[in-house]
Amino acid sequence: MAAVTDPRQLIVQDPRLLGGKPAIYGTRLGVEWLLDKLAAGQTREQMLADYPTLYPEGIDAALAFAADFDEHHSIARLLAEYRGLRQ
């Protein structure tokens, strides 16, 4: 995969994919779904092993994308839960 300057460039929204919800480029994995898994305690390593289309930069992109949301948005809440688990 070519290097990207902003990891959020790996997040796509296409009405034909996941109903237009944000997803990681090259996968059929939604950002919110990924954050839900991480917030539930699944590790990055487990995610990468369980989902062959997922790649480390995609996880980083989802985390960066989620950080842009208002704290009241469900994506931002999942990110906060994930960060709380890591402390």
Q: pLDDT in tens for each of the 87 residues of the chain?
A: 556 677 778 999 999 999 999 999 999 999 999 999 999 999 999 999 999 999 999 999 999 998 887 777 788 788 888 888 665
87 in a structural domain: yes
Domain count, the chain: 1
Q: In this predicted structure, what is the pLDDT of residue 80?
A: 82
Tell me, yes or no, whether 39 lies in a domain: yes
Whether 71 maps to a domain, the answer reads yes
> pTM for the whole thing?
0.81
Residue 39 belongs to domain spanning: 32-87
Query: Is 68 a domain residue?
Result: yes
Cα separation, 28 vs 63, in Å, equals 17
Residue whose token pair is 């996941």: 18
CA distance 76 to 83: 10
- Closest of 33, 27, 1 to residue 14, by C-alpha: 27
For residue 53, tell me if it sits in a domain: yes
